[in-house]
């Protein structure tokens, strides 16, 4: 630790710059914030979050009570960031560039910025794109959050994985052949963002003979949560984006 070479390798932060925090707020229940997330949000100089075209932010909704706790101390600056929900990467990249610029202005002014992330910041989230743009100039910290996977297991009381089992996570964006291979190879498979792909996922579950150990959940931990214990009862049409299948051998029903 007293090696001067090692010390010289530590990046020197701009003395007055704020810290960029990626803070997971969990899947929906405000009580599933961690104590650390709650504290950082309550004391944030700037609270940033993605919002949709309607000006709605799920992450800000989940964290509302924690923001209010801090509002008694001082009001944070709110920084809603509009992110087009589009598969055009150029459009998304431009939006991330602009957001990183706005965040960097606040950090340069010495303000800590807390970026609210649904679920966990580094698990299929937007925070990684912002961190990639800011980490070379600013100190970044990540506070993990409860992912929809752990919340889904808890809500349906289904063990995710035990002992020497293996576990894979895919999304509705994967091709049916990839889904099938994963269902055949792994004891537990979680298929996130089932949405439009629901008919193909149901077909893959049937083909792999794994309907009996599959559960379907949408909007986990939110007021409109829906759990379908037997996927053979599930309509084979498209569903909402925030939906998942949890396929677990150790959670198989008799």
Nearest approach in angstroms of CB 107 to a copy of itself is: 16
Residue 241's alpha-carbon distances to 33, 37, 90, 172, 226, in angstroms, are 22, 25, 22, 9, 13
For a copy of itself, the binding residue among 151, 183, 234, 247 (CB under 8 A) is 151
Instruction: Convert 18-32 to b/e letters by CB count within 10 Å (16 or more is b).
Output: bbbbbbbbbbbbeeb
Q: Report if residue 243 touches a copy of itself, rule: CB under 8 A.
A: no
- Of 186-215, binders to a copy of itself (CB under 8 A) are 186
The pair of three-digit structure tokens given for residue 53, joined into one six-digit string: 């075209």
Site string for a copy of itself, 36-65 (x = CB under 8 A): x-xx--------------------------
Nearest approach in angstroms of CB 119 to a copy of itself is: 9
For a copy of itself, the binding residue among 19, 64, 79, 154 (CB under 8 A) is 154
Q: Are 80 and 47 in contact (CB under 8 A)?
A: no
What is the Cα–Cα distance from 179 to 170, expressed in whole angstroms?
A: 7
The residue range among 8-16, 41-49, 95-103, 177-185 that interacts with a copy of itself, by the rule CB under 8 A, is 177-185
What is the Cα–Cα distance from 243 to 193, expressed in whole angstroms?
A: 5
What is the Cα–Cα distance from 132 to 115, expressed in whole angstroms?
A: 14
Q: Where on the chain is the footprint of a copy of itself (CB under 8 A)?
A: 24, 26, 29-36, 38-39, 120-124, 128, 131, 135, 140, 142-147, 150-151, 153-155, 157-164, 166-171, 173-174, 178, 181-182, 185-186, 250
């Amino acid at each position: 630790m007293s090696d001067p070479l090692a010390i010289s390798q530590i990046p020197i932060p701009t003395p007055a710059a704020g810290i960029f925090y990626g803070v997971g707020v969990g899947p929906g229940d405000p009580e599933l914030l961690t104590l650390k997330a709650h504290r950082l949000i309550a004391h944030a100089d700037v609270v940033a979050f993605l919002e949709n075209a309607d000006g709605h932010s799920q992450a800000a909704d989940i964290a509302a009570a924690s923001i209010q706790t801090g509002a008694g101390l001082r009001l944070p600056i709110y920084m809603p960031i509009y992110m087009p929900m589009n598969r055009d990467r150029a459009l998304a990249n431009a939006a991330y560039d602009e957001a990183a610029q706005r965040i960097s202005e606040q950090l340069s002014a010495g303000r800590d910025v807390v970026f609210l992330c649904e679920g966990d910041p580094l698990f299929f989230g937007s925070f990684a794109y912002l961190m990639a743009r800011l980490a070379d100039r600013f100190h970044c910290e990540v506070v993990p959050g409860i992912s929809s996977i752990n919340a889904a297991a808890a809500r349906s009381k289904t063990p995710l994985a035990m002992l020497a089992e293996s576990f894979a996570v895919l999304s509705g964006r994967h091709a049916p052949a990839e889904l099938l291979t994963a269902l055949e190879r792994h004891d537990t498979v979680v298929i996130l963002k089932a949405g439009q792909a629901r008919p193909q996922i149901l077909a893959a579950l049937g083909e792999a003979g794994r309907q009996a150990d599959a559960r379907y959940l949408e909007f986990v931990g939110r007021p409109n949560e829906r759990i379908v214990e037997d996927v053979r009862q599930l309509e084979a049409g498209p569903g909402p984006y925030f939906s998942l299948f949890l396929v677990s051998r150790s959670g198989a029903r008799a």
